Amino acid sequence: METTILKIKRNKPGDLLPAAGILQSGGLVAFPTETVYGLGAIYNDEPALLKVFAVKGRPADNPLILHIYHLDQLGQIVSSISPAAERLIQRFWPGPLTLIFPKKANVSPVVTANLNSVAVRMPSHPVAQELLRLTGIPVAAPSANLSGKPSPTNGEHVINDLLGKIEMIIDAGPCPAGVESTVLSLMGEEPIILRPGTITREELETVLGKPVLLASGKEVDRPQAPGMKYRHYAPEAPVTLFEGDPGKIVLEINRRLAEKVDGQKIVVLGTTENIGKYDNEWVLDLGPQGRPEIIASNIYDLLRFCDRLNADSILIEGITDQGIGTAVINRLRKAAGGNVINVS
Ligand code: TXA
Ligand code: MG
């Protein structure tokens, strides 16, 4: 298939009309959001939805998020909106918060993987908003990467994964947040974060006025966000994540580097404060320790860069599991596939 690449600096009226036309006629369009790029299909066209799963190689039991640009669209897809949801919408939409609602009957089981709930978000990225407005129909969109790969945070990442497989890729440069939206379920007794993101637990608790739980991600057999059970966000080379005391992490990584076999390409991802301390040829800068939002915006690009370097092994310095750092650590643990060394 011929993929049209549409480069957009600042959208002018009409630029996105062809993209909206492709979606309306059942085609697939990759588009930027403030979190990561999404692979869009209209929510009410089952063949188009099935193509999304096929193109990504995504397991059918991992449901999709529906994207809307206006609150008027919410009533088409959800059957009720709780007062708690209303408060969160008021405060965080448009923005990187996905909420789980009871679904309306017309939402296809292909979208929800047979669950009785549906995930919805209203992105704040101007290109996403304009595309959704012109399309006029809610758009289902998982991240626009091949399943299991790091999510795409710039146009080049999407082109690498999906060129020749979908009708259009809209390239509007890097995504500001760089990790996927916070997914919050209000379906149970207590609000629970199914996937941490740049909207933090503390921010949600402030608005809701009560504690918010965080899914451990260890519910492998009965995961709450079905996507959590798969190995995710992973580059080709095995990843080892080091968590604990920052000083000891540097020592432990250097100890392993000293044991390196000749010719083996080990890539270290370290914080700005520590990159000078690693005794290695390849050391990449995650960003400053106290600025997890910068690390979040770099992380997927760095993981993909490790593939370009043909790394044999990747050693990553963990950061504090707090605030936006929780989202970063969550993705790194998944990239490591459980290969986490605690050095506290
Ligand atoms: O930032 C984002 O959310 C990006 C952009 C493109 O909007 N999208 C994204 O989609 O990350 P995806 O498909 O890669 O991740 C969707 C997550 C998965 O973990 C999935 O299991 C969960 O949302 N999810 C979707 N519907 C759900 C539901 N009804 N109940 C629980 N979890 C759900
Ligand atoms: Mg994804």
Residues 127-170 have pLDDT tens digits of 999 999 999 999 999 999 999 999 999 999 999 999 999 999 99
Distance, in Å, from the CA atom of 275 to the CA atom of 325, rounded to the nearest integer, reads: 18
Q: pLDDT digits over 177-199, tens only?
A: 999 999 999 999 999 999 999 99
Mean pLDDT of 201-206: 98
The pLDDT of residue 223 is 46
- The architecture CATH gives domain 4-214: Alpha-Beta Complex (3.90)
Nearest partner of 323 among 211, 197, 225, judged by Cα: 197
Mean pLDDT of 321-326: 97
The pLDDT of residue 94 is 98
Q: How far is the CA of 340 from the centre of ligand 1 (A)?
A: 25
The pLDDT of residue 92 is 98
Pocket perturbation via mutation, ligand 1, pick of 110, 183, 219 by most ligand atoms within 8 A of CB: 183
CATH code of the region 239-343: 3.40.50.11030
The pLDDT of residue 152 is 98
Confidence of residue 221 (pLDDT cuts 50, 70, 90): very low
The pLDDT of residue 216 is 83
Q: Percent of the chain, pLDDT > 70? A: 96
- 194 Cβ below 6 A of ligand 1: yes
- 134 Cβ below 6 A of ligand 1: no
- 120 Cβ below 6 A of ligand 1: no
Structure tokens at 331: 């993705």
Instruction: Write the DSSP assignment of 59-109 as a string of letters.
Output: -TTSPPEEE-SSGGGHHHHBS---HHHHHHHHHH-SSSEEEEEEBPTTS-H
The pLDDT of residue 268 is 98
Confidence of residue 217 (pLDDT cuts 50, 70, 90): low
What 3-state DSSP class applies to 284?
strand
Q: pLDDT digits over 56-114, tens only?
A: 999 999 999 999 999 999 999 999 999 999 999 999 999 999 999 999 999 999 999 99
Q: pLDDT digits over 2-58, tens only?
A: 999 999 987 788 899 999 999 999 999 999 999 999 999 999 999 999 999 999 999
Structure tokens at 185: 């379920």
Q: How far is the CA of 143 from the centre of ligand 1 (A)?
A: 8
- CATH 3.90.870.10-classified regions of the chain: 4-214
Pocket perturbation via mutation, ligand 1, pick of 37, 53, 56, 65 by most ligand atoms within 8 A of CB: 65
Residue 47 region, left (φ>0) first, then alpha (ψ -120 to 50), else beta? alpha
The pLDDT of residue 233 is 83
- CATH 3.40.50.11030-classified regions of the chain: 239-343
Pocket perturbation via mutation, ligand 1, pick of 98, 115, 179 by most ligand atoms within 8 A of CB: 98
The pLDDT of residue 12 is 80
**pTM for the full predicted model:** 0.96
- 178 Cβ below 6 A of ligand 1: no
Nearest ligand, CA 123: 1
The pLDDT of residue 326 is 98
Distance, in Å, from the CA atom of 23 to the CA atom of 43, rounded to the nearest integer, reads: 10
Q: pLDDT digits over 243-283, tens only?
A: 999 899 999 999 999 999 989 999 999 999 999 999 999 99
Quote the mean pLDDT of the chain: 95
**Nearest ligand 1 atom, CA 151:** 14
The pLDDT of residue 232 is 76
